[in-house]
Amino acid sequence: MTALTIRPANADEFATAIEWAAGEGWNPGLDDLPAFHAADPAGFLMGFLDGEPVSSISVVRYGATFGFLGFYIVHPDHRGSGIGIATWNTGMTHLKGRTIGLDGVVAQQDNYRKSGFVLAGRNIRFAGIPTALPDKTVPVRLASAADAQALIAYDRRFFADDRTAFIRAWAAPPTPARRTTVLAERDGEISGYGVIRPCREGYKIGPLFADDAESAKSILAALVKTLPAGVTIVLDPPEANAAAVALAESLGLENVFETARMYRGPAPDLPMARTFGITTFELG
């Protein structure tokens, strides 16, 4: 076999991995890559044979203590050749010394467990055309550029380490025109926020973080009302938050699959009761 080269990929190169992810049925967002890459430009690795991409893995570093793994893909023509484990090992080196999280399909749990990962819980993907929307009982509004710092500070309560660069690109206006951020407020303070974005199929909401179920419902209703009628939406609540699961079901969405949230190293203590939808399966 020609020598395998594994190295950080620029955003244009990693667009190939986004296409692979679409081919695997992962339904990536249309504008995800710039914000993903902003989170850790050195954290998007690809394997190359004779200059041709054959594998990918994202190993994004957050702050000083945490990392998240995703986009672990080997091109079908090169599976079973050792490229996958070589790519994995290079990615894990990038996250050495950190707690590492991932969202893996249930069938891969045993493989991840062999690498030291421990199951922390499950995230359930709900999808469908909403048949009903909750009432808006908490004031909500579109986020503006003036909200950036408050939004970043609020988000920090829900994540294992600092992800300012990612949130600034993902959720803090001005975002790409097709991505929308809505805030809920109580007594002049943020009580929740959510982001909706177009994907290859339908629209995904993520994150959906809120101090209480009423704020979450109000944000979700406002987000959906920004869309054309009759489109599919996707929401990924943690199974541990029964209110979040009930909210997804109340819209008429269906459980289409689940992922295993696993960690290698000390698991972060996250507010699952206030997490109504995770941000992405790829970056945590």
pLDDT at 246: 98
Q: Which helix (H) or strand (E) holds 54?
A: strand 52-62
Closest CA to 265 of 118, 105, 63: 118
Establish if 283 belongs to a structural domain: no
> Is pLDDT of 174 > 90?
no
Residues 271 and 131 in one domain: yes
DSSP string, 87-124: HHHHHHHHTTTSEEEEEEEGGGHHHHHHTT-EEEEEEE
pLDDT tier for residue 215 given thresholds of 50, 70 and 90: very high
Residues 159 and 270 in one domain: yes
Residues 99 and 154 in one domain: no
Residues 61 and 130 in one domain: no
pLDDT tier for residue 1 given thresholds of 50, 70 and 90: low
pLDDT tier for residue 107 given thresholds of 50, 70 and 90: confident
Residues 113 and 132 in one domain: no
CATH number at residue 255: 3.40.630.90
From 121, 151, 168, the end of a domain falls on 121
CATH number at residue 98: 3.40.630.30
Give pTM, 2 decimals.
Answer: 0.95
Name 245's Cβ contacts closer than 8 Å, sequence gap at least 6. Answer: 124, 126, 237, 239
Establish if 57 belongs to a structural domain: yes
Residues 117 and 130 in one domain: no
Q: How many domains in the chain?
A: 2
Domain containing residue 182: 126-277
Residues 111 and 134 in one domain: no
Residues 162 and 255 in one domain: yes
